[in-house]
Amino acid sequence: MGTPETSREPCPDRILDDVGGAFGMGAVGGSVFHFLKGAYNTPNGMRLSGGAQAVRMNAPRVGGSFAVWGGLFSTFDCAMVYARQKEDPWNSIAAGAATGGFLSTREKDVTVFLSLSKRLLSSCIFFILAYNMPCYVTSMTEHEDPYSVILSPD
């Protein structure tokens, strides 16, 4: 089955781990965003309570949305690992595209298939860029002389 990734849990446990992590990231990020938005939209003298109220109303919803996305992504990723019998970035790219496509099917548009194809394509492009950007940066910087900064004549 190739070389398994040893820094993560095995697949059935990975899904719950990713759901919890995604919920935490969404709740914290949503708290910061909605606190600032609530404080900005509240009259003077009530900014702290307005920000706190906005957090109580919106942060759990944002955390739940992130948890759904993380759970679907992890489920599709584990399905790709099982189907392909190898762990590589293509699994995550396909899982991201499948997650974006699956979540876009909730829309009740007449042009569902157009929306689905756009979401699939944009998710696929995002994950290709996300996985290839570190490789690109490494290849661009590895040809530099590491001592050129220290030995410069300035």
In this structure, the chain runs to a length of: 154
Condensed to tens digits (0 to 9), the pLDDT of residues 53-96 reads 999 999 999 999 999 999 999 999 999 999 998 888 888 888 88
Report residue 50 as tokens. 């307005």
How remote is the C-alpha of 41 from its chain's centroid? 28
Per the prediction, the chain carries an average pLDDT of 81
HEC string for 40-63: HCCCCCCHHHHHHHHHHHHHHHHH
Question: Do 92 and 72 contact (CB within 8 A), yes or no?
Answer: no
Q: Which residue has the higher pLDDT, 46 or 111?
A: 46
Going by C-alpha positions, the residue among 126, 129, 121 that lies closest to residue 104 is 121
Condensed to tens digits (0 to 9), the pLDDT of residues 22-39 reads 999 999 999 999 999 999
What DSSP designation does 8 have?
S
pLDDT band at 1 (very low <50, low <70, confident <90, very high): very low
Report residue 123 as tokens. 């998710």
DSSP 55-102: HHHHHHHHHHHHHHHHHHHHHHHHHHHHHHSS-SHHHHHHHHHHHHHH
